[in-house]
Amino acid sequence: MEIVKGINEMRKVRQGFPLEVGCVLTMGAIHTGHMSLIERSVTENPRTVCSIFVNPLQFPDGTDLRSYPSSIEADLTLMERAGVDAVFMPSQNEMYGTGLLTKITFSELSNVYEGIDRPGHFEGVGIVVSKLLNIITPQKAYFGQKDYQQTRIINALVNDMNMGTEVIICDTVREPNGLAVSSRNTLLTKESRERAGCLYRALEHAAVLRASGESLRIIEEQMSLVLNADPDVDRVHYFDFVDRENLRHLHSNKKPCVLIAAITVQGIRLIDNLSID
């Protein structure tokens, strides 16, 4: 497995690979969710390239950036064992130099839900994903369903910019209690991590209520109240049924949708979603 730190070097390595290359973009702190993406890429493509880059543009206030977990040596070991062919690990200076003049915005996709509490976050995602896909030029890129709003934004980016990369969205990997696997989970205590499974249980219960014909507005209100009443939940940021494509809030329960939610537990923001037919 080659470890590459320069953009030009990465392009040279890429030229030596067959046409079919899959990639998984990460910020490190590799967990079972990342590994499911990597293993699928290795299975489906002759070559797989991964990236490890903690993107500062995704953390406008800097708070999350300072606390983001890191385990580079363990990450590289896991990737090599899985059969990854190259890992691109650029520095901030390599990626951004003295700064950027270009900005990427996503209109209504980025100014709702995660975009409200984390202004500028998705603009940072758009920049880094654009750069990494242009540098690696993969035929397929694998992303997790857990970050649903992000998957819609990346799909829009790739389609609008005619990047030629197929975006493949993979199922969310969960811990035994239903909690969606995330690098942020490591920041929780063992007890809080176990109790944080309340979020997925609320999503499942809401789906059952929807199937019974209950009003979406009433379900959202009930589940928000239930979560807010949980002593382990610091805050419920949102708990909404939305359109699968444009993320607009739904009022009718007669069409397929996605139930998205975000809460804070022990000071850590957790997000999740459930697709509903």
The per-residue pLDDT for 62 is 66
Residues paired with 240 in a beta bridge: 260
Mapped onto helix, strand or coil, the DSSP state of residue 235 is strand
Highest-confidence range of 2-6, 65-69, 104-108, by mean pLDDT?
2-6
Q: Compute the average pLDDT of residues 44-56.
A: 96
Report whether pLDDT(254) > 80: no
Phi, psi of 209 (to 5 degrees): -65, -40
H or E stretch at 260: strand 257-265
**Considering only CA atoms, which of 238, 270, 267 is closest in space to residue 113?**
238
Provide the angle, in degrees to the nearest 10, between the axes of the packed helices 121-136 and 148-160.
Answer: 50
CATH 3.30.1300.10 fits 183-270, yes or no: yes
Tokens of 208: 């059952």
Please name the CATH architecture into which domain 2-170 falls: 3-Layer(aba) Sandwich (3.40)
Positions marked catalytic: 34
In the chain, where the domains are located: 2-170, 183-270
Instruction: Let me know: does 51 contact 14? Beta carbons within 8 Å.
Output: no
Q: What is the pLDDT of residues 84-138, one digit of tens each?
A: 999 999 999 999 998 899 999 998 999 999 999 888 999 999 999 999 999 999 9
